[in-house]
Chain A
Amino acid sequence: MIEYIKNVWLGFWTVIVGMRITLAHLFEKKVTVQYPDDRYPIPPNARNKLYLDPTLCNGCTSCERICPVNCIKVETLRVVPDDPERPMIADGSKRKLWVPVYDIDFAKCCFCGLCTTVCPTFAIKHTVEFEYSTYSRDELYVRFSDMSPEKIIEKKKMLDEFQAKEKAAKAEAARKAAEEKSKTDAKAETSPVTESKESN
Chain B
Amino acid sequence: METINFVYNLIPDQFIAIIVICTIPLIFLIVYALLAILGELKISAWIQERLGPMRTGPWGILQPIAEVVKLIQKEDLTPDTANKPLFNLAPFIIFMGAYASFAVIPFSRYFIPSDINIGLFYIFAVGSIAVIGIVMGGWASNNKYSLLGAMRSVAQIISYEIPGAMAILSVAVLASSLNLEKINIAQEGGIWNWFVFGGQGSWDKLWVVPFTLILSLIYLISSLAETNRTPFDIPEGESELVAGYHTEYSGMKFAMFFFAEYANMFVVAAVLTITFFGGWNSPFGNFMQGPGWDVFWFVGKSFFFVIVQIWLRWTLPRLRVDQLMYVGWKVLLPFSFICFLFISLFRMIN
Contacts and interface: CB of A to CB of B under 8 A. Distances in A.
Please determine whether chains A and B interact with each other in the same assembly: yes
A30 B316 contact: no
B311 A22 contact: yes
A12 B51 CA distance: 30
B46 interface: yes
B210 to A, nearest CB: 14
Nearest to B217: A12
A30 B51 contact: yes
Specify the main secondary structure of chain A where it touches its partner: helix
A34 interface: yes
Interface string A7-46: 0100110010011011101111111111000000000000
Interface in A24-78: 25-34
Given A8-B331, A15-B316, A31 B50 contact: yes
B314 A22 contact: yes
Interface in A57-110: none
B200 to A, nearest CB: 28
Given A8-B331, A22-B311, A26-B43, A32 B316 contact: no
Contacts of B50: 30-32
Given A19-B311, A19-B312, A34-B54, A26 B47 contact: yes
B2 interface: no
Interface residues on B, range: 10 to 19
B48 interface: yes
Nearest to A25: B47
Nearest to A23: B311
Contacts of B331: 8, 11
Interface string A136-172: 0000000000000000000000000000000000000
A16 to B, nearest CB: 10
B339 to A, nearest CB: 13
B318 to A, nearest CB: 13
Interface string B301-338: 00000000001101110000000000100010001000
Contacts of A18: 315-316
Interface in B31-70: 43, 46-51, 54
Contacts of A28: 49
Contact of A30 (B49, B217, B327): B49
A8 B217 CA distance: 13
15 contacts: A11-B327, A15-B315, A19-B315, A21-B315, A23-B311, A25-B47, A25-B48, A26-B43, A26-B46, A26-B311, A29-B49, A30-B50, A31-B49, A32-B51, A34-B54
Interface of A: 8, 11-12, 15, 18-19, 21-23, 25-34
Given A28-B49, A30-B50, 15 more contacts: A8-B335, A11-B331, A15-B316, A25-B48, A26-B46, A26-B47, A27-B46, A30-B46, A30-B49, A31-B50, A32-B49, A32-B50, A32-B51, A33-B51, A34-B51
Give the top 3 A-B pairs by smallest Cβ distance, nearest first.
A22-B315, A18-B315, A31-B49
